[in-house]
Amino acid sequence: MTSDHPVHGTWEPEPATRWEDGFLSGNGRHGALLFGDPGDERVVVTHHTLVRPNGSEHARPPRLAAELPALQDRLLAGDLHAAEAFTDRRELQWVQPFHPAFAVRLRRTGPAGTHGHRRSVDFTTGVAQTESEGRLSRVFVSRADDVIVHQVTTSDLDISLDHRLPGAPHGLGVGHGAVLTPEGALLTLRARYPGSDRAYTGITLVAVSGGRTTLTPPGIRVTGADSVLLLTRVLRHTHEPDALAEARSLGELLPDQDPFDGLLARHTESHRPAYERVTLDLGADPAERALPGSALLRKPDSPALLERLFAAGRYHLLSASGLFPPRLTGLWTGDWDTAWSGAFTNDANVNLQTASAACAALPEVTAALASLIHRQIPDWQNNAREIFGTRGIVAPPHSDGESGLTYHFSREYPLHLWTAGADWLLKPLVDHDETRGERDPRTAHALAEAARFYEDFLTRVDDNGHLVVVPSYSPENRPANASWGAINAAMDLSAARHALRTAADYHPGTEQAQIWRALADRLPPHRTNTDGALAEWAWPGLDDTYDHRHLSHLYGVWPLDEITPYDTPDLAKAAHRALELRGAENDSAHGHLHHALVAARLRDGERVAHALGQVLKGDFFHNSLMSAHYPNRDVYNADAAHTLPAVIVEMLVQSTPDRLVLLPAVPQAYPTGHLKGVRTRFGAALDLTWSPHEATAVIRPTRTHRIELRTFSGAEPLDLVAGEDHVLRLEAW
């Protein structure tokens, strides 16, 4: 890129001594984390399927359906602690924890100083590299060939696969292999989990150009080489894989000339266009754009920092999404002891991390989320049947990717009571369908299953004839004067309404659609409490607990369009009051950025700026530009890194199938900029340029449609014609 545009990458002048600072590459299946000093470089290898058996692979949802009517009776009679007994008395069971496979370790046998050291990652290609004293090491993970590709230009090198990573369990059964094959030297590492028949095998094929390879079990020694190319894959299995056949498969990827560049070209055919679809330019100082990431992180008010974090967030999100969407740690970790099992945490984190998928033109991310959801539908049906005695689906609060069954719950976190999960997780799939103008039949099926659950579950009625959601849970909060399992949580009401009406939209003209709409209409309205705030529980007598990291009760504001300043101004005012009263509790990154997303929908730019500032000024980012869960880089976690691009888009452009909102919540700190390539839910790409005195939007619709345009000056209709660019000019905003 020229100095007039943001640099699509980041760099550091010093080696990464902590794995958390290592630069990242991934293809949504395999991940690579490059760190270490020039004399002892390591590539930590990860794979989305690597989860350690801990007993939960056999866990089932609790069989509580027969007890549900009695619980509902007690809650409706005023026993607001009754749900604490709605359990089979099991201990809290975490899902199988995500873990790294091993490190490919490269020790240089000659002197390895750090003179001229530079390490970098190119977001447009996914190549992470280090340079030092004329030596070059380059790594990427191929989307085309599903392999980690690593080239080193060093003449003398010791190479091994090292399982000794922090937190590796005692009793991990490890076997190494090193053999010479016609394709090159083959290194294998087989690890069997303690007390389990499950295992995984790492396979690295080493092709040496112009040198000699000697076996030094469990590794190899390379001398006199011009360059060394390593191809690595991981297989999770219960039966012994054929390592030699896998080596032959890897060998088939090697052309006669320039194998690294050939593999890279195949990979970038899909990676580069996806990454480059959307760009952000905030008119930053070119000198600040040229800074290493660590120096830029010390300038939290710099537009250059936000530009780079936006680019890095989209890069990391794309790289972590394929077989699955990102986990709590994305696709990477250098430690077996991942916080909260490195799970797919469904009650907030998965949706926050994937929030930019539709608007920031990353359908690959939505496809990854859909892949996780659709393979788990049978498990979700099992949850509904066993816990609630209904048809349909209930999503689990946590998943390891293998199972979609609900078994992670306790008295303090009665997550088995959470019924909003299916709608919450399906909402990004609906957004994707709206963006592309086609309805996926798999999404239609899942929505129908969500609606069938509510058909069977919503059987209780209040004194006004409204249906009652009982039991009801607002993740992960509780009323100030009651227990966690309560009645009519705002999120549950919003989710039920949205699921029923959206399922009806996907099945127009059917008798079932009429039934679902009628059920949605019988749900109660939201409640405004005595503080003028949208109540987290609509049931009278339940008092709010304000100091909490989750904002589940504002689901109707974001990501839904149930509560807006335009259609429901009174409710929007109450929601804004609820946002004002909400504390940050433990300063979780996801809480701050969730706050920013809601504030953007409510047109409060300065509240967006404050929430962003809490993250940018709170030392949440490692030098890798991957983030942490808490301030001061405490607990490696992808929430902030992956959610930040969605916040930026939402403060500049918002859309529904029938509305476009331009510049709804731009903080004063970013008065000038250019956002290119975002997608709208009415089927158009959009470029936006703004300055203190004017703004221009170029809309490129793919379908003919009339929408409502909302700007600072009000609303007006806008007719769009498929294939015809529409240019909007605003003289002030």
675-684, pLDDT tens digit by residue?
A: 999 999 999 9
Q: What is the mean pLDDT of the chain?
A: 95
What's the average model confidence in pLDDT over 258-265? Answer: 94
Backbone angles phi, psi at 443, to 5 degrees: -65, -40
Q: What pLDDT, on the 0 to 100 scale, is given for residue 399?
A: 98
Which of 591, 429, 452, 435 has the alpha carbon at shortest distance from 512?
452
Q: How many CB atoms lie within 10 A of CB 156?
A: 15
Candidates 159, 153, 167; CA nearest to 186 is 159
Q: Quick one: pLDDT at residue 691? A: 95
List CB contacts of 589: < 8 A, sequence separation 6 or more. Answer: 615, 620, 627, 628, 629, 630, 637, 639, 640, 643
What is the enclosing helix (H) or strand (E) of 376? helix 363-383
The predicted structure's pLDDT at residue 1: 37
Please, what's the largest Cα pairwise distance for the chain? 85
CB 89, CB 51: distance < 8 Å: no
Tokens of 151: 């080239």
Q: Which of 108, 152, 147 is nearest to 130 (CA)?
A: 152
- Report the pLDDT value the prediction gives residue 532, as an integer from 0 to 100: 98
Element (H, E) at 237: strand 227-237
Ramachandran angles phi, psi of 685, nearest 5° = -90, 155
Alpha carbon of 443 to those of 179, 424, 490, 562, 681: distances in Å?
48, 13, 24, 20, 16
How much is the average pLDDT of 7-12?
94
Q: 269 preceded by cis ω (within 30°)? A: no
pLDDT of residue 416: 97
Residue 240 has pLDDT above 80, yes or no: no
Q: Provide the pLDDT for residue 105.
A: 98
By percentage, how much of the chain surpasses pLDDT 90?
92
Q: Indicate if the pLDDT at residue 2 is higher than 50.
A: no
Give the per-residue pLDDT at 733: 58
Q: What is the residue whose two structure tokens read 């003289």?
A: 731
What integer pLDDT is reported at residue 242 of this predicted model?
80
Any idea which of 81-85, 91-95, 239-243, 309-313 has the lowest mean pLDDT?
Answer: 239-243
Predicted local distance difference test score (pLDDT) of residue 686: 98
The DSSP 8-state label assigned to residue 683 in this structure reads T
Which tens digit of pLDDT belongs to each residue from 65-78? 999 999 999 999 99
pLDDT at position 303 over 70: yes
Locate the DSSP E strands across 54-198: 102-108, 118-122, 127-132, 135-141, 148-153, 157-162, 173-181, 184-192
Peptide bond just before 524 cis, omega within 30 deg = no
Please determine, for residue 190, whether its predicted confidence score (pLDDT) is greater than 80: yes
The per-residue pLDDT for 133 is 83
Average pLDDT over residues 469-496: 97
Of 1-10, 20-29, 441-450, 706-715, which range is least confident?
1-10
For residue 112, pLDDT beyond 60:
no
Distance of CA 256 to the CA centre of its chain: 39
In whole angstroms, what is the distance from residue 502 CA to residue 365 CA? 22
What are 656's strand-pairing partners?
659
SS3 549: coil
Count of C-beta atoms within a 10 Å radius of residue 168: 18
For the chain, the structural domain boundaries read: 9-51+96-276
Task: Tell me the whole-structure pTM to 2 decimals.
Answer: 0.97
| Residue-level pLDDT at 254 | 86
Tell me which residue has tokens 């959801």. Answer: 373
* Residue 657, token pair as written in the block: 């199938």
Q: Identify the residue whose tokens are 């929505």.
A: 447
- Where on the phi/psi map is residue 133: left (φ > 0), alpha (ψ -120 to 50), or beta? left
SS3 (DSSP) at 359: coil
Phi/psi of residue 673, nearest 5 degrees: 175, 175
pLDDT at 592 exceeding the cut of 80: yes
Q: What pLDDT does residue 5 have?
A: 56
Question: What's 384's DSSP letter?
Answer: I
Q: Phi/psi at 118 (nearest 5 deg)?
A: -155, 130
Beta-carbon count within 10 A of 717 CB? 8
Q: What is the crossing angle of helices 441-457 and 511-521, to 10°? A: 50
What is the pLDDT at residue 7? 79
pLDDT in tens, 444-461: 999 999 999 999 999 999
Q: Residue 183 carries which side chain, given as an amino acid letter?
A: E
Q: For a pLDDT cut of 70, what percent of the chain falls above it?
A: 98
C-beta neighbour count of 490 within 10 angstroms: 26
Average pLDDT of 187-193?
97
Cβ neighbourhood burial of 170 (10 Å; 0-12, 13-18, 19+):
exposed
Residues 664 and 695 sit within 8 Å (Cβ to Cβ): no
pLDDT in tens, 19-72: 999 999 999 999 999 999 989 999 999 999 999 999 999 999 999 999 999 999
Q: For the domain bounded by 9-51+96-276, which CATH number is listed?
A: 2.70.98.50
Tokens standing for 30? 């395999």
The DSSP call for residue 6 is -
Residue 3 has pLDDT above 50, yes or no: no
* 128-151: pLDDT as tens digits: 999 988 899 999 999 999 999 999
pLDDT at 404: 98
Contacts of 658 (CB under 8 A, 6+ apart): 682, 705, 707, 708
Q: Where are the alpha helices (DSSP H) in 437-565?
A: 441-457, 490-506, 511-521
Higher pLDDT, 183 or 605: 605
Confidence band, pLDDT 50/70/90 cuts, at residue 246: confident
